[in-house]
Amino acid sequence: MSNKLDQLKQFTDVVADTGDIEAIRRFSPQDATTNPSLILKAAELPQYQALIKGLIEAQSKGQRDAQWLQRAATQLAVEIGAEICHLVPGKVSTEVDARLSFNTDAMVAEGRYITELYQQKGIGKDRLLIKIASTWEGIQAAKILEKEGIECNLTLLFSLIQAAACADAGATLISPFVGRILDWHVARGLKPNTANDDPGVQSVIAIYSYYKQHGYKTIVMGASFRNIGEIEALSGCDRLTISPALLAELSEDQEMLVRQLRPDMHFSSHDKLELNESAFRWALNEDAMASEKLAEGIRAFAADQVKLEALLSEWN
């Protein structure tokens, strides 16, 4: 019998959640996703040092102001993304600066800029996903970019209300976070007995069923896993983005993997949500977990963006 990773690939598109080229070569995923935290880790790997040196040598240290550092960090993310594009047959997600998460116009401009940088390297729109936080402003930015043919991955998604708004905006893909939802509940005393009791797993199943019930084309890509039990419970989801450590664990497991989700399954009925900005903001405000984890995630990605820029500023 094939290992669980190979079995999973039979009914779910597997995406590598990493900027590590060697890990991507090893596991042969369909797509790959990056974020500021992963780019920061990748920037510290030996294989990227020559790339960073070449990027930095174009500027003298005296010219490295805040704007240059922001651009350099974006260019580095694109350079790494371009390397990954040569290794995966599908798409690579590159994230806009988290500090722009409440500025629609700035996110649109950044999405266009990232796309332009890729095109300068001969990589077209069809290979890209622009990754944007699922704030109201981020969802509106995605709506604009999608109309321009720039496909988007809405990330830091923790609730059905966010997912519904993303689908209404025509987002290509959403990344509902599993592990971070579990973390929030565990911190408050919850200890799930099985993966099916995991609130993060339950959230993704609810979103998946809502999309299939109402005929949305937006792709559901579960993300942020804490263990392979969560992955197994969501086997059959459109896509799953998985860290190298968990990809390795799946590849070493020879047990049978049973598919759990199918588009034609009978799900509990959920009325279609009618959303506007005030309804979205109120519903998100009323969901303590989602609002807290969204804010926490934006702060964490912004902090790692600052660390990445500091790393670039220190290069001689």
pLDDT digits 0-9 by tens, 102-126: 999 999 999 999 999 999 999 999 9
Residue 62: what pLDDT? 56
> Hey, which residues are catalytic here?
131
**What are 137-168's pLDDT values in tens digits?**
999 999 999 999 999 999 999 999 999 999 99
**Which pTM was predicted?**
0.94
Q: How confident is the model at residue 54 (pLDDT cuts 50, 70, 90)?
A: confident
How crowded is residue 68: how many other Cβ atoms within 10 Å of its Cβ?
15
Amino acid at 110: E
Residue 61: what pLDDT? 55
Q: Cα(84)–Cα(50) distance, rounded to whole angstroms?
A: 16
Two structure tokens written together for 182 = 């579990």
Say which residue, 199 or 70, is predicted with more confidence. 199
115 near 152, Cβ under 8 Å? no
pLDDT at 27 over 80: yes
Q: How confident is the model at residue 298 (pLDDT cuts 50, 70, 90)?
A: very high
269 near 214, Cβ under 8 Å? no
Q: Could you give all domains of the chain from N- to C-terminal order, each with its CATH number? A: 4-313 (3.20.20.70)
